[in-house]
Protein backbone atom coordinates (compact mmCIF):
# COMPACT_ATOMS: atom_id res chain seq x y z
CA UNK A 1 0.00 0.00 0.00
CA UNK A 2 2.80 2.41 0.88
CA UNK A 3 4.45 1.47 -2.42
CA UNK A 4 1.29 2.59 -4.28
CA UNK A 5 1.30 5.85 -2.34
CA UNK A 6 4.94 6.40 -3.28
CA UNK A 7 4.04 5.95 -6.96
CA UNK A 8 1.22 8.49 -6.57
CA UNK A 9 3.67 10.99 -5.08
CA UNK A 10 6.02 10.56 -8.02
CA UNK A 11 3.30 11.71 -10.42
CA UNK A 12 2.11 14.68 -8.31
CA UNK A 13 4.48 17.46 -9.48
CA UNK A 14 3.45 16.92 -13.11
CA UNK A 15 -0.24 16.88 -12.18
CA UNK A 16 0.06 20.06 -10.11
CA UNK A 17 1.92 21.92 -12.86
CA UNK A 18 -1.02 21.33 -15.24
CA UNK A 19 -3.50 22.93 -12.83
CA UNK A 20 -2.09 26.42 -12.27
CA UNK A 21 -2.91 29.62 -14.13
CA UNK A 22 -0.69 32.71 -14.35
CA UNK A 23 1.16 33.42 -11.07
CA UNK A 24 -0.59 30.68 -9.10
CA UNK A 25 1.43 28.23 -7.03
CA UNK A 26 -0.04 24.87 -6.07
CA UNK A 27 1.47 22.72 -3.31
CA UNK A 28 0.37 19.35 -1.94
CA UNK A 29 1.30 17.58 1.28
CA UNK A 30 0.74 13.82 1.43
CA UNK A 31 0.82 11.59 4.50
CA UNK A 32 0.34 7.83 4.74
CA UNK A 33 0.93 5.04 7.24
CA UNK A 34 0.58 1.28 7.35
CA UNK A 35 0.52 0.39 11.03
CA UNK A 36 0.33 -2.83 13.01
CA UNK A 37 -0.59 -2.44 16.66
CA UNK A 38 -1.09 -4.55 19.75
CA UNK A 39 -2.56 -3.42 23.07
CA UNK A 40 -1.36 -5.46 26.02
CA UNK A 41 -3.08 -6.07 29.36
CA UNK A 42 -2.01 -8.56 32.03
CA UNK A 43 0.84 -9.64 29.76
CA UNK A 44 -1.56 -10.72 27.03
CA UNK A 45 -2.72 -9.20 23.77
CA UNK A 46 -6.24 -7.89 24.31
CA UNK A 47 -6.51 -6.03 20.99
CA UNK A 48 -4.54 -6.11 17.76
CA UNK A 49 -5.02 -5.02 14.20
CA UNK A 50 -3.79 -2.94 11.33
CA UNK A 51 -4.41 0.59 10.11
CA UNK A 52 -3.82 2.01 6.66
CA UNK A 53 -4.63 5.65 6.23
CA UNK A 54 -3.63 8.43 3.90
CA UNK A 55 -4.32 12.13 3.55
CA UNK A 56 -3.56 14.85 1.03
CA UNK A 57 -3.76 18.60 1.57
CA UNK A 58 -3.72 21.05 -1.34
CA UNK A 59 -2.48 24.64 -0.93
CA UNK A 60 -3.21 27.22 -3.64
CA UNK A 61 -1.55 30.63 -3.57
CA UNK A 62 -1.53 33.70 -5.82
CA UNK A 63 1.57 35.05 -4.10
CA UNK A 64 -0.45 37.24 -1.74
CA UNK A 65 -2.63 34.79 0.14
CA UNK A 66 -3.29 31.07 0.44
CA UNK A 67 -6.18 28.62 0.77
CA UNK A 68 -6.14 24.90 1.49
CA UNK A 69 -8.28 21.76 1.42
CA UNK A 70 -7.62 18.31 2.95
CA UNK A 71 -8.93 14.95 1.79
CA UNK A 72 -8.67 11.66 3.69
CA UNK A 73 -9.19 8.16 2.37
CA UNK A 74 -8.90 7.43 -1.33
CA UNK A 75 -6.59 9.94 -2.97
CA UNK A 76 -8.06 12.00 -5.85
CA UNK A 77 -7.42 11.25 -9.50
CA UNK A 78 -6.11 13.82 -11.97
CA UNK A 79 -9.62 14.91 -12.95
CA UNK A 80 -10.69 15.16 -9.30
CA UNK A 81 -7.65 17.31 -8.50
CA UNK A 82 -8.77 19.73 -11.23
CA UNK A 83 -12.18 20.11 -9.54
CA UNK A 84 -10.53 20.68 -6.13
CA UNK A 85 -8.19 23.34 -7.54
CA UNK A 86 -11.08 25.20 -9.20
CA UNK A 87 -12.91 25.27 -5.86
CA UNK A 88 -9.79 26.63 -4.13
CA UNK A 89 -9.37 29.24 -6.88
CA UNK A 90 -12.86 30.56 -6.24
CA UNK A 91 -12.23 30.78 -2.50
CA UNK A 92 -8.90 32.53 -3.01
CA UNK A 93 -10.68 35.64 -4.34
CA UNK A 94 -12.15 36.28 -0.87
CA UNK A 95 -9.03 35.69 1.25
CA UNK A 96 -7.17 38.78 2.57
CA UNK A 97 -3.48 39.34 1.92
CA UNK A 98 -1.13 37.42 4.22
CA UNK A 99 1.99 39.55 4.89
CA UNK A 100 4.05 36.62 6.22
CA UNK A 101 3.21 34.08 3.53
CA UNK A 102 6.48 32.40 2.59
CA UNK A 103 6.58 29.65 -0.04
CA UNK A 104 9.79 28.29 -1.51
CA UNK A 105 9.94 29.28 -5.17
CA UNK A 106 13.02 27.12 -5.79
CA UNK A 107 11.97 23.55 -6.64
CA UNK A 108 13.69 21.09 -4.31
CA UNK A 109 13.93 17.34 -4.67
CA UNK A 110 15.17 15.30 -1.74
CA UNK A 111 14.50 12.03 0.07
CA UNK A 112 15.06 11.85 3.84
CA UNK A 113 14.53 9.27 6.54
CA UNK A 114 14.88 5.51 6.28
CA UNK A 115 12.73 3.30 4.09
CA UNK A 116 13.96 0.15 5.87
CA UNK A 117 11.34 -0.59 8.52
CA UNK A 118 12.13 -3.33 11.09
CA UNK A 119 10.04 -6.45 10.49
CA UNK A 120 9.81 -8.19 13.88
CA UNK A 121 6.44 -7.09 15.22
CA UNK A 122 5.04 -10.55 16.06
CA UNK A 123 8.31 -11.75 17.58
CA UNK A 124 8.51 -8.61 19.69
CA UNK A 125 4.94 -8.93 21.01
CA UNK A 126 5.55 -12.59 21.85
CA UNK A 127 8.83 -11.80 23.61
CA UNK A 128 7.15 -9.09 25.71
CA UNK A 129 4.32 -11.37 26.84
CA UNK A 130 6.64 -14.28 27.65
CA UNK A 131 9.32 -12.19 29.38
CA UNK A 132 6.75 -10.41 31.58
CA UNK A 133 6.03 -13.69 33.39
CA UNK A 134 3.44 -13.17 36.10
CA UNK A 135 3.64 -9.38 36.09
CA UNK A 136 0.76 -7.23 34.87
CA UNK A 137 2.26 -5.83 31.68
CA UNK A 138 0.18 -3.06 30.10
CA UNK A 139 1.12 -1.15 27.00
CA UNK A 140 1.06 -0.46 23.29
CA UNK A 141 3.27 -1.79 20.51
CA UNK A 142 3.30 0.05 17.17
CA UNK A 143 5.08 -0.94 13.98
CA UNK A 144 5.05 -0.18 10.28
CA UNK A 145 6.11 2.33 7.63
CA UNK A 146 5.12 5.99 7.37
CA UNK A 147 5.61 8.42 4.52
CA UNK A 148 5.20 12.16 4.09
CA UNK A 149 5.81 14.22 0.96
CA UNK A 150 5.59 17.81 -0.22
CA UNK A 151 5.15 18.41 -3.94
CA UNK A 152 4.44 21.55 -5.96
CA UNK A 153 3.57 22.87 -9.39
CA UNK A 154 7.09 24.33 -9.45
CA UNK A 155 8.63 20.86 -9.31
CA UNK A 156 9.13 20.15 -5.59
CA UNK A 157 9.27 16.47 -4.71
CA UNK A 158 10.33 16.10 -1.07
CA UNK A 159 9.78 12.69 0.50
CA UNK A 160 10.35 11.47 4.05
CA UNK A 161 10.20 7.78 4.97
CA UNK A 162 10.00 6.67 8.60
CA UNK A 163 8.22 4.22 10.86
CA UNK A 164 9.91 1.44 12.75
CA UNK A 165 8.79 0.00 16.06
CA UNK A 166 7.90 1.70 19.33
CA UNK A 167 6.88 0.26 22.68
CA UNK A 168 5.14 2.10 25.51
CA UNK A 169 5.02 -0.28 28.49
CA UNK A 170 4.10 -0.28 32.17
CA UNK A 171 4.12 -2.84 34.98
CA UNK A 172 1.31 -2.45 37.52
CA UNK A 173 0.68 -4.18 40.83
CA UNK A 174 -2.53 -4.61 42.83
CA UNK A 175 -1.82 -1.43 44.83
CA UNK A 176 -1.63 0.58 41.58
CA UNK A 177 2.11 1.11 41.77
CA UNK A 178 3.67 1.29 38.34
CA UNK A 179 6.91 1.62 36.40
CA UNK A 180 7.07 2.70 32.77
CA UNK A 181 9.44 2.39 29.82
CA UNK A 182 9.30 3.82 26.29
CA UNK A 183 11.67 2.58 23.62
CA UNK A 184 12.14 2.89 19.86
CA UNK A 185 13.28 -0.09 17.77
CA UNK A 186 14.21 -2.20 20.82
CA UNK A 187 16.36 -5.27 20.23
CA UNK A 188 14.68 -8.59 20.88
CA UNK A 189 17.66 -9.68 22.94
CA UNK A 190 17.22 -6.65 25.22
CA UNK A 191 13.58 -7.36 26.15
CA UNK A 192 14.16 -9.84 29.02
CA UNK A 193 16.63 -7.55 30.83
CA UNK A 194 14.40 -4.52 30.23
CA UNK A 195 11.40 -6.20 31.85
CA UNK A 196 13.53 -7.67 34.64
CA UNK A 197 14.68 -4.17 35.55
CA UNK A 198 11.07 -2.96 35.56
CA UNK A 199 10.04 -5.86 37.79
CA UNK A 200 12.81 -5.09 40.28
CA UNK A 201 11.78 -1.44 40.48
CA UNK A 202 8.15 -2.46 40.99
CA UNK A 203 9.16 -4.55 44.02
CA UNK A 204 10.92 -1.52 45.54
CA UNK A 205 7.72 0.51 45.05
CA UNK A 206 5.92 -2.00 47.28
CA UNK A 207 8.04 -1.00 50.29
CA UNK A 208 6.85 1.69 52.76
CA UNK A 209 6.92 5.10 51.09
CA UNK A 210 9.23 7.96 52.09
CA UNK A 211 7.87 11.51 52.43
CA UNK A 212 10.68 14.07 52.20
CA UNK A 213 10.07 17.44 53.81
CA UNK A 214 10.13 20.60 51.68
CA UNK A 215 13.68 21.67 50.87
CA UNK A 216 16.61 21.16 48.49
CA UNK A 217 17.69 17.63 47.56
CA UNK A 218 20.33 15.99 45.43
CA UNK A 219 18.46 14.29 42.62
CA UNK A 220 18.93 12.16 39.57
CA UNK A 221 16.54 13.09 36.77
CA UNK A 222 16.25 10.18 34.37
CA UNK A 223 16.24 10.79 30.62
CA UNK A 224 12.44 10.51 30.64
CA UNK A 225 12.10 13.04 33.47
CA UNK A 226 14.53 15.50 31.90
CA UNK A 227 12.83 15.02 28.53
CA UNK A 228 9.52 15.98 30.16
CA UNK A 229 11.01 19.24 31.49
CA UNK A 230 12.69 20.13 28.19
CA UNK A 231 9.48 19.32 26.34
CA UNK A 232 7.58 21.82 28.49
CA UNK A 233 10.21 24.50 27.88
CA UNK A 234 9.91 23.78 24.15
CA UNK A 235 6.32 25.07 24.01
CA UNK A 236 7.61 28.60 23.45
CA UNK A 237 11.18 28.53 24.66
CA UNK A 238 13.18 28.29 21.46
CA UNK A 239 11.02 30.03 18.83
CA UNK A 240 12.29 33.28 17.38
CA UNK A 241 8.78 34.72 17.80
CA UNK A 242 8.90 34.20 21.57
CA UNK A 243 12.50 35.33 21.86
CA UNK A 244 11.83 38.52 19.91
CA UNK A 245 8.66 39.31 21.89
CA UNK A 246 10.31 38.54 25.24
CA UNK A 247 7.73 35.87 26.11
CA UNK A 248 10.15 32.94 25.94
CA UNK A 249 10.89 31.33 29.33
CA UNK A 250 14.51 31.25 28.09
CA UNK A 251 14.48 35.00 27.45
CA UNK A 252 17.27 35.72 29.95
CA UNK A 253 19.39 33.00 28.37
CA UNK A 254 18.98 34.44 24.87
CA UNK A 255 19.68 37.97 26.17
CA UNK A 256 22.86 36.75 27.84
CA UNK A 257 21.68 37.66 31.36
CA UNK A 258 21.77 33.99 32.38
CA UNK A 259 23.62 30.91 31.26
CA UNK A 260 23.55 27.20 31.96
CA UNK A 261 26.42 24.93 32.92
CA UNK A 262 29.29 24.80 30.45
CA UNK A 263 28.50 21.07 30.17
CA UNK A 264 25.25 21.80 28.30
CA UNK A 265 25.31 21.31 24.54
CA UNK A 266 21.75 21.15 23.21
CA UNK A 267 20.72 20.73 19.57
CA UNK A 268 17.67 20.34 17.41
CA UNK A 269 18.75 17.21 15.55
CA UNK A 270 16.10 16.32 13.00
CA UNK A 271 18.18 13.58 11.41
CA UNK A 272 18.69 11.76 14.73
CA UNK A 273 15.02 12.25 15.63
CA UNK A 274 13.90 10.79 12.27
CA UNK A 275 11.66 13.73 11.33
CA UNK A 276 11.36 15.35 7.86
CA UNK A 277 14.17 17.64 6.75
CA UNK A 278 11.78 19.98 4.97
CA UNK A 279 8.76 22.19 5.65
CA UNK A 280 5.23 22.14 4.27
CA UNK A 281 6.20 25.22 2.23
CA UNK A 282 8.95 23.32 0.41
CA UNK A 283 12.01 24.65 2.25
CA UNK A 284 14.89 22.33 3.11
CA UNK A 285 15.94 22.22 6.76
CA UNK A 286 19.36 21.62 8.34
CA UNK A 287 19.90 18.20 9.88
CA UNK A 288 21.18 19.85 13.07
CA UNK A 289 20.77 23.27 14.68
CA UNK A 290 22.88 24.18 17.75
CA UNK A 291 20.56 25.78 20.31
CA UNK A 292 22.76 26.00 23.41
CA UNK A 293 26.54 25.55 23.34
CA UNK A 294 28.65 25.51 26.48
CA UNK A 295 25.62 26.76 28.41
CA UNK A 296 25.06 29.80 26.17
CA UNK A 297 22.14 30.33 23.78
CA UNK A 298 23.26 30.31 20.14
CA UNK A 299 20.25 30.07 17.82
CA UNK A 300 16.48 30.31 18.14
CA UNK A 301 14.24 28.28 15.82
CA UNK A 302 12.40 29.99 12.99
CA UNK A 303 9.81 28.57 10.61
CA UNK A 304 9.11 30.11 7.19
CA UNK A 305 6.58 32.66 8.44
CA UNK A 306 8.64 33.94 11.38
CA UNK A 307 11.80 33.89 9.24
CA UNK A 308 10.15 36.31 6.83
CA UNK A 309 8.83 38.49 9.64
CA UNK A 310 12.16 38.80 11.46
CA UNK A 311 14.57 38.45 8.54
CA UNK A 312 16.35 35.34 9.82
CA UNK A 313 17.22 31.98 8.20
CA UNK A 314 14.68 29.15 8.14
CA UNK A 315 15.84 26.32 10.39
CA UNK A 316 12.55 24.83 11.62
CA UNK A 317 9.08 23.96 10.37
CA UNK A 318 7.20 25.97 13.01
CA UNK A 319 9.68 27.21 15.63
CA UNK A 320 9.10 24.36 18.08
CA UNK A 321 11.77 21.67 18.43
CA UNK A 322 10.69 18.19 17.40
CA UNK A 323 13.95 16.31 17.94
CA UNK A 324 15.98 17.67 20.85
CA UNK A 325 19.42 16.15 21.40
CA UNK A 326 21.39 16.84 24.59
CA UNK A 327 24.99 15.75 24.49
CA UNK A 328 25.86 13.23 27.19
CA UNK A 329 28.54 13.42 29.89
CA UNK A 330 30.67 10.87 31.70
CA UNK A 331 28.45 9.35 34.43
CA UNK A 332 27.51 5.73 33.58
CA UNK A 333 23.99 4.61 34.47
CA UNK A 334 25.48 1.86 36.66
CA UNK A 335 27.09 4.45 38.96
CA UNK A 336 24.10 6.76 39.35
CA UNK A 337 22.80 5.44 42.69
CA UNK A 338 26.25 5.56 44.26
CA UNK A 339 26.71 9.14 43.06
CA UNK A 340 23.36 10.19 44.50
CA UNK A 341 24.36 8.85 47.89
CA UNK A 342 21.34 10.26 49.71
CA UNK A 343 18.55 11.94 47.77
CA UNK A 344 16.02 11.41 45.02
CA UNK A 345 15.89 9.14 42.01
CA UNK A 346 13.19 10.57 39.72
CA UNK A 347 12.25 8.23 36.92
CA UNK A 348 9.28 10.20 35.63
CA UNK A 349 7.53 13.54 36.13
CA UNK A 350 3.87 14.39 35.62
CA UNK A 351 1.66 17.47 35.27
CA UNK A 352 4.67 19.59 34.32
CA UNK A 353 4.15 23.30 33.84
CA UNK A 354 6.02 26.59 33.87
CA UNK A 355 5.43 28.22 37.26
CA UNK A 356 7.40 31.42 36.53
CA UNK A 357 8.33 32.16 32.88
CA UNK A 358 10.58 35.07 33.84
CA UNK A 359 12.95 32.85 35.83
CA UNK A 360 12.31 29.71 33.74
CA UNK A 361 10.97 27.91 36.81
CA UNK A 362 9.28 24.57 36.29
CA UNK A 363 6.89 22.69 38.52
CA UNK A 364 5.96 19.01 38.31
CA UNK A 365 4.74 16.09 40.40
CA UNK A 366 6.59 12.87 41.11
CA UNK A 367 4.60 9.70 40.64
CA UNK A 368 5.16 5.97 40.11
CA UNK A 369 8.85 5.16 39.48
CA UNK A 370 10.40 7.75 41.82
CA UNK A 371 12.51 6.62 44.79
CA UNK A 372 14.29 7.70 47.95
CA UNK A 373 17.99 6.76 47.93
CA UNK A 374 20.28 6.29 50.93
CA UNK A 375 23.89 5.06 50.87
CA UNK A 376 23.56 4.50 47.14
CA UNK A 377 20.60 2.08 47.50
CA UNK A 378 16.92 2.42 46.57
CA UNK A 379 15.19 2.49 49.97
CA UNK A 380 11.58 2.89 48.92
CA UNK A 381 9.15 4.86 46.79
CA UNK A 382 8.63 8.58 47.16
CA UNK A 383 5.25 9.74 48.29
CA UNK A 384 4.00 12.08 45.55
CA UNK A 385 5.75 15.43 45.98
CA UNK A 386 5.92 18.63 43.97
CA UNK A 387 9.19 19.99 42.63
CA UNK A 388 9.63 23.64 41.70
CA UNK A 389 13.01 24.71 40.36
CA UNK A 390 14.48 26.97 37.73
CA UNK A 391 16.08 25.40 34.68
CA UNK A 392 18.94 27.85 35.28
CA UNK A 393 19.59 25.97 38.53
CA UNK A 394 18.78 22.43 37.39
CA UNK A 395 21.09 22.63 34.37
CA UNK A 396 23.21 25.47 35.71
CA UNK A 397 24.65 26.05 39.17
CA UNK A 398 23.23 22.79 40.61
CA UNK A 399 24.27 20.49 37.76
CA UNK A 400 26.86 17.95 38.90
CA UNK A 401 27.00 15.48 36.05
CA UNK A 402 25.39 14.37 32.81
CA UNK A 403 24.70 10.72 32.17
CA UNK A 404 27.06 8.98 29.77
CA UNK A 405 24.25 7.10 28.02
CA UNK A 406 21.99 9.18 25.76
CA UNK A 407 18.55 7.57 25.57
CA UNK A 408 16.24 7.91 22.59
CA UNK A 409 12.69 8.62 23.74
CA UNK A 410 10.19 8.30 20.88
CA UNK A 411 6.97 10.24 20.58
CA UNK A 412 4.29 7.56 20.92
CA UNK A 413 1.05 9.54 20.56
CA UNK A 414 -1.35 7.87 18.15
CA UNK A 415 -4.39 10.15 18.32
CA UNK A 416 -5.61 10.54 14.74
CA UNK A 417 -2.39 9.16 13.32
CA UNK A 418 0.99 7.90 14.49
CA UNK A 419 3.38 10.58 15.58
CA UNK A 420 7.04 10.44 14.71
CA UNK A 421 10.17 11.95 16.09
CA UNK A 422 12.16 11.41 19.26
CA UNK A 423 14.21 13.27 21.81
CA UNK A 424 17.69 12.02 22.65
CA UNK A 425 18.81 12.97 26.16
CA UNK A 426 20.83 11.59 29.07
CA UNK A 427 19.87 11.68 32.71
CA UNK A 428 21.37 14.39 34.93
CA UNK A 429 22.61 14.55 38.51
CA UNK A 430 21.54 17.87 39.99
CA UNK A 431 19.67 19.38 42.95
CA UNK A 432 16.06 20.50 43.03
CA UNK A 433 13.57 22.04 45.40
CA UNK A 434 10.64 20.14 46.89
CA UNK A 435 7.82 22.50 47.86
CA UNK A 436 5.20 20.07 49.26
Average pLDDT over every residue of 226-246: 94
150 lies in some domain: yes
Q: Is the pLDDT of residue 118 over 90?
A: no
The CATH number of whichever domain residue 50 belongs to comes to: 3.30.2290.10
Q: Parallel, antiparallel, or unpaired: how do β-strands 343-346 and 215-221 relate?
A: parallel
The tens digit of pLDDT for each residue in 243-252 reads 999 999 999 9
* pLDDT band, residue 416 (cuts 50/70/90): confident
Residue 199 lies in a domain: no
Residue 28 near residue 280, CB atoms below 8 Å: no
What pLDDT was estimated at residue 175? 87
- How confident is the prediction for the chain on average, in pLDDT? 93
Domain co-membership, 25 together with 155: yes
pLDDT of residue 126: 95
Same domain, yes or no: 298 and 223 = yes
pLDDT over 90 at 1, yes or no? no
Note whether residue 202 is domain-resident: no
The residues, any chain, with a CB within 8 Å of residue 159's CB and separated by 6 or more, are: 6, 9, 110, 111, 112, 147, 148, 149
Q: Tell me the C-alpha distance between 346 and 389, whole Å.
A: 14
Contact assessment for residue 88 and residue 67, using Cβ atoms and an 8 Å cutoff: yes
**How far is Cα 191 from Cα 305, in angstroms, rounded to an integer?**
44
Single out the residue in 140, 160, 192 at which a domain terminates: 192
- For residues 91 and 233, state if they share a domain: no
Bigger pLDDT: 411 vs 234: 234
Residue 170 placed within a domain? yes
Q: How many residues does the chain have?
A: 436
Q: Is 106 exposed, middle or buried (0-12, 13-18, 19+ CB in 10 A)?
A: exposed
Count the domains in the chain. 2
165 and 240 both lie in a single domain: no
Final residue of a domain: which of 162, 192, 222? 192
197 in a structural domain? no
Stretch 79-96: mean pLDDT:
95
- Quick one: pLDDT at residue 195? 95
| Domain of residue 185, residue span | 2-192
Residues 12 and 147 in one domain: yes
Amino acid sequence: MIANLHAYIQSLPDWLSRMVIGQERLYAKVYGEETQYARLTQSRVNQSGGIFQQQITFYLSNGLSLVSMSIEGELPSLSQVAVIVQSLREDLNYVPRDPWLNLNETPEQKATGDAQVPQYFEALVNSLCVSAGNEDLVGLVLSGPQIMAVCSSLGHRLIHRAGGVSIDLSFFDTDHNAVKRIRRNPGLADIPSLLTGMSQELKVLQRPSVSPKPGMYRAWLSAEALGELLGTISWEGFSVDSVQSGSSPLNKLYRGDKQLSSQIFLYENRAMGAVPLFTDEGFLLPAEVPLIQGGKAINPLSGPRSAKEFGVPINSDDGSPSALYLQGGDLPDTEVLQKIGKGLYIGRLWYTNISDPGSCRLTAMTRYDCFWVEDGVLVGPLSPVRMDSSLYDLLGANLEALGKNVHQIPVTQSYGRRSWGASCVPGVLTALKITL
